[in-house]
Every structure is written in structure tokens, then in C-alpha cells.
């Protein structure tokens, strides 16, 4: 039996879940225009544990969404996760933010492209098969009419970054799911448990979020 605290703060959604053996027991989250992660995160963690009559000492590991996403949001989540792991002497698990977002949908065919808004017409994206295998690595890209032209299958767009795609990529081959906007700690439960079973953890001292900084530096040149 394993209790894992999942922390997702890569976007405007400040989200926390507690899972037992990969099943979400409770999730607390709020998505606001102004980032409230610094004020809400530790409150949500304490409230979630109390609601389940659990103590910090009951946790076997802590999982954090590693990015890409908001610089500030990622720093807050990762700092909190690392601090708790140090204090509790438990393992830290890093989960791909776009994989978390992709896990919010189930499709029978085609591909899933989760997108996180990265300003203007830029998005952070990856491509997943219908059985949730990543078939194109994460990258930052500017959306144009030629985007994803190499994909002939039906494309399912999810995430807040997908909203801007509708302006240049009309429906037809492209299917939009506007009900799925932000990644949630609920979707982290199964992913983090699989990593926990395989001891797929990261070094608490040296782990840093995945910012896609190289792209941002290139854009400024």
C-alpha cells in the first residue's frame, strides 16, 4: 500500500491530490486568473490530509508536475515538494505535465496533442497516441496553418493552449475538447504510482523543473 501526494502547479490550476495505490482519494484545486499557488498550495495539502485522517508521516512519496509550464508555478510546486521530501525523508517523483494533461482524455483513434499556453501564438506541446504513448517529444512552437501537417490522423486538441489553435486550424481533422483546460493532480495519481512501483524517482537535491528555457532564449535573439 502506497500513499502519494501529487502536486500540480504548472498552469493557473493549483491542484493537489492524495492517492492510494494509484487511485485518487481526494483532490483539491482552484484555477484563477491571478496565480494563487503560493497562498493555496500548503493549505490544500494540509486540508486534504486532514480530510482523509492522514498525517504527513503516512506519505510514501511526493509527486510533482515537472513542466513545461509557468516559471513561477513550477518553482512553487517543486520547492514545496522538495521541502516536504527533505523533511519526511521520502522519495520525489517527477511527472511530465503534458502527459498529465493528455491523461485527462480517452480516445479510440487518432492522436492527442495537449497544449499549454506559452504566450501569443506559442504553445508547449507533445503528441500522444490513442493509447497514451508519447510519439513526439515536448517542444515549444508557434502555431501556424502548417502546424501538424505531417499528421494524417484525427487530432484531438486539449489544454488552454488549444484555444488559440481554433483561429488558424479549423475543425475537420482537428477535434477540440474545450472542457479540458488545465492539467490536474487527479490525473497524476496513476502516473506517479507507476513510477513509484519502478522506483523511477529523481534526486531531491538536484532536481529542477523543465522550463524549455532554450526556446525562450532563442526567441529573444
Q: So what's the pLDDT on residue 218?
A: 40
Q: Are residues 111 and 16 in the same domain?
A: no
Q: Say how far apart CA 117 and CA 31 lie, in whole Å.
A: 14
Whether residue 63 is found in the same domain as residue 86: yes
The CATH number that applies at residue 171 is: 3.30.420.200
Range of 137's domain?
Answer: 105-176
Over the Cα atoms of the chain, what is R_g? 17
pLDDT tens per residue across span 42-83: 999 999 999 999 999 999 999 999 999 999 999 999 999 999
For 13, 18, 50, 171, the CA distances from 152, given in Å and listed in that order, are: 32, 39, 49, 14
Lowest model confidence (mean pLDDT) among 119-123, 148-152, 176-180: 119-123
Q: How many structural domains does the chain have?
A: 2
**Alpha helices (runs of H) in the chain, residue ranges in sequence order:** 37-51, 71-88, 97-102, 188-197, 213-220
Let me know: does 209 contact 66? Beta carbons within 8 Å: yes
Residue whose C-alpha cell is 492517492: 19
- State how far the Cα of 33 lies from the Cα of 210, in Å rounded to an integer: 23
Considering the domain architecture, whether residues 168 and 206 belong to the same structural domain is answered as no
Amino acid at each position: 500500500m502506497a500513499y502519494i501526494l501529487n502536486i500540480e502547479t504548472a498552469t493557473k490550476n493549483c491542484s493537489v491530490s492524495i492517492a492510494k495505490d494509484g487511485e485518487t482519494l481526494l483532490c483539491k484545486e482552484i484555477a484563477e486568473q491571478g496565480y494563487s499557488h503560493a497562498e493555496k498550495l500548503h493549505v490544500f495539502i494540509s486540508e486534504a490530509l486532514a480530510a482523509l485522517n492522514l498525517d504527513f508521516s503516512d506519505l510514501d512519496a511526493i509527486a510533482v508536475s515537472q513542466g513545461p509550464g509557468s516559471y513561477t508555478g513550477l518553482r512553487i510546486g517543486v520547492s514545496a515538494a522538495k521541502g516536504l521530501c527533505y523533511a519526511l525523508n521520502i522519495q520525489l517523483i517527477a511527472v511530465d505535465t503534458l502527459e498529465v494533461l493528455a491523461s485527462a482524455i480517452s480516445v479510440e483513434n487518432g492522436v492527442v496533442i495537449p497544449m499549454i499556453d506559452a504566450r501569443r501564438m506559442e504553445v508547449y506541446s507533445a503528441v500522444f497516441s490513442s493509447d497514451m504513448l508519447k510519439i513526439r517529444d515536448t517542444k515549444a512552437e508557434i502555431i501556424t496553418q502548417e502546424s501538424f501537417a505531417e499528421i494524417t490522423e484525427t487530432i484531438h486538441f486539449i489544454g488552454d493552449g488549444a484555444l488559440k489553435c481554433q483561429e488558424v486550424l479549423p475543425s475537420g481533422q482537428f477535434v477540440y475538447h474545450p472542457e479540458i483546460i488545465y492539467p490536474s493532480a487527479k490525473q497524476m495519481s496513476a502516473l506517479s504510482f507507476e513510477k513509484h512501483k519502478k522506483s523511477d524517482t529523481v534526486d531531491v537535491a538536484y532536481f529542477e523543473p523543465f522550463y524549455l528555457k532554450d526556446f525562450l532564449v532563442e526567441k529573444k535573439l
